[in-house]
Amino acid sequence: MKLYGRVYPSSYAVWTQLLRTLESMSVFHTMLLSFSSLLGWVVTVMNPRVTPEVTRDVCLLARMMAANLHFSQIEELMFELSMWRCNDELRVRAEELHRASRKAEKHYIEFWKQVPPTEPYRVILGYVRDKLYYTRERSRHLLTSGSSDIPADSTFTDVEQFLEPLELCYRSLCDCGDKTVADGSLLDFLRQVSTFGLSLVKLDIRQESDRHTDALDAITAHLGIGSYRSWPEEKRQEWLLSELRGRRPLFGGDLPMTEEVADVLGTFRVLAELPPDCFGAYIISMATAPSDVLAVELLQRECHVGHPLRVVPLFEKLADLEAAPAAVARLFSIDWYMDRIGGKQEVMIGYSDSGKDAGRLSAAWQLYKAQEELVKVAKQYGVKLTMFHGRGGTVGRGGGPTHLAILSQPPETVNGSLRVTVQGEVIEHSFGEEHLCFRTLQRFTAATLEHGMHPPVSPKPEWRALMDEMAVVATEEYRAMVFKEPRFVEYFRSATPETEYGRMNIGSRPSKRKPSGGIETLRAIPWIFAWTQTRFHLPVWLGFGAAFKHIMHKDIRNVQALREMYNEWPFFRVTLDLLEMVFAKGDPGIAALYDELLVADELKPLGEQLRSNYEDTKKLLVQVAGHRDVLEDDPYLKQRLRLRDPYITTLNVCQAYTLKRIRDPSFQVTAQPPLSKEFTDENQPASLVKLNAASEYAPGLEDTLILTMKGIAAGMQNTG
């Protein structure tokens, strides 16, 4: 990542500036630790390309990089701290280290081969330098050959071991009247080590709950006690708890297992093998019940994970969000589990898959209610709850302006700390440069503080009733089209570049969770991405129109109630404002062009029906917001989108004709001049083939498609 490569010192300077500004204000300390998770990575081990070996290599590489960065700064400190005056504590330590020091190694420059005992700070820092060198080299050996002759006790295995001699130097300088020196480079380095540790970043591990079920099913079958998968939830919990409270091992090396089960257990063995500071949380995708959490706890114990990762259930689909408070309450009622978590719990909620499952309106409302209920459950059991928001970059995946997103959360759900995902498509815009990194941290800090000091209003009972009713109607319309309309899947795959996107090597993981199946197996990213490319944004708005129409026709006074909600309730206003922004970026005329070129005649009426629904929803939206047109309250953003439109439209036209050429090689552009000679000429020069010689498409077509996809995606990025 660019953030930790060449621009690392600048990124660190941002942290230093932020910490120095807030160091005297203790209320910020916990918050800053929460923000450090923004600089972490998540390894999605449910991605088939992320094997246990890849996870291990990523951790070792990060550890090697961290040691190397710290090593260079230790040598700078050794040049700086040449003084002889020190307190008794440091002098005794320096004498001990000097007596025990070995002959200088060849890997140091000549100047540092012999550090005299009259320079006690350099003796201490030389000891730290040696340990860092061996830490780096051991990681390098393990990374390249899988083994190392360097013993673990010659390295730093814990960040506290690293900090202790540095803190000793700091105390000594302060005791001797050199606090100005102590508060310079040394204090900066202490902060850097405290923030980035020995692992540079903490890796979150993420795996789907079904994969854990498969592993436990293999174990119970091997033990001859039945099929774990077929057991009801109560029996699963009973068995898991009995094993967690006991001591017997469940399996050995003779456990028969499939490749998928071996992959799951291999990941847990990597967690046991590497230092615990390499890892953050273990996230369970598609969590549905308490047994999903207990299963991971048991697998960690069985694979001998010495310092178990905190387990974070991720509730994604609508039904799972509804059941989440009861599932968490059941976990909190278990004495063993309460002892395990020590009064702290993290729960992740998914915006992408909940939106794909039920539509944006219903998902947003259920996410809101789930957070309220989860906070109530945590208060009841005296647990500090941290919400982890699995937002994507686009509106359809829960994305939007950071400040507004946090302020629209329910009251008492932030409490000075939160976690968020920063998706790959937007991470460079948030952390790619020093000023961007600092601005992003400012936004999170300001919004988190404002949410606590000036909590948003709670919705009135009548607002809740309207939202409940609207959500039911919106879900029915969304699912009736996406999951029940027999022609929809065929239309979707014809009218968008979803099929081509899934076949190209531009995604971080396969576009589907399973090779077969319909929309339910498609990942949320290509689902949103495909509609974004055609400027139709169907997953964002589908369902809103039916919900508005139902409420308005039921009682004309509801129009005024909806406007009151828009003006007074931050959650509702942010939801509709983001929808307005999406309509401002959308263009049903572009979607019609894709239909004209790519969709079979018998499916075109479905496209016309959807575009009519689009226009109706847009009219109802501006009526509810009290506007004459979309983005009436934000003319600056509206103008920016207008300036982008001609360029994006050109890319859309190019993409639509490229898709036509890919799907129908006999197609020739006759109604207008060819886009280029290479585009239509079957005898392309050999140099063009080099663009992507491995492509299964005609030369140049895949490259054209990728360029248009990236250009349209850039033009459609959130600008609010």
> Alpha-carbon distance 311 to 469, whole Å?
35
Task: Please enumerate in sequence order all residues whose Cβ is within 8 A of that of 71, keeping only pairs 6 or more positions apart, or say none.
Answer: 129, 132, 133, 136
Q: Report how far apart, in Å, the C-alpha atoms of 531 and of each of 201, 497, 675 are.
A: 34, 8, 24
Per the listing, tokens 């982890």 go with 388
Rg (C-alpha) for the chain, rounded Å, is 29
Report phi then psi at 388, rounded to 5. -110, 115
Structure tokens at 23: 């160091």
- Please report the sign of the dihedral spanned by the C-alpha atoms of residue 276, residue 39, residue 713, residue 485: positive
Structure tokens at 436: 């961007």
Torsion angle, alpha carbons of 637, 642, 645, 647, to 10 = -100
Burial of residue 690, with CB atoms counted within 10 A of its CB: 0-12 exposed, 13-18 middle, 19 or more buried:
exposed
Amino acid occupying residue 64: M
Amino acid occupying residue 665: P
Structure tokens at 302: 């069985």
Contact 418, 386 (CB under 8 A): yes
Count CA atoms closer than 13 A to 593's CA, side-chain side: 18
Contact 435, 17 (CB under 8 A): no
In the set 356, 369, 585, 618, the catalytic residue is 356
Amino acid occupying residue 117: P
Amino acid occupying residue 181: V
Nearest one of 201, 60, 53, 192 to 136, comparing CA atoms: 60
Count CA atoms closer than 13 A to 86's CA, side-chain side: 25
- Please report the sign of the dihedral spanned by the C-alpha atoms of residue 707, residue 712, residue 717, residue 720: positive
Report phi then psi at 44, rounded to 5. -85, 90
Q: In the annotation, is 356 catalytic?
A: yes
Between 187-196 and 52-80, two packed helices, what is the crossing angle to 10 degrees?
A: 170
Task: Please enumerate in sequence order all residues whose Cβ is within 8 A of that of 444, keeping only pairs 6 or more positions apart, or say none.
Answer: 35, 38, 402, 406, 420
Contact 703, 649 (CB under 8 A): no
Structure tokens at 573: 């206003």
Q: Write the DSSP string, 634-655.
A: -HHHHHHHHHHHHHHHHHHHHH
Hey, is 718 helix, strand or coil?
Answer: coil
Nearest one of 247, 317, 252, 320 to 290, comparing CA atoms: 320
> Alpha-carbon distance 586 to 582, whole Å?
6
Active centre residues (catalytic): 356
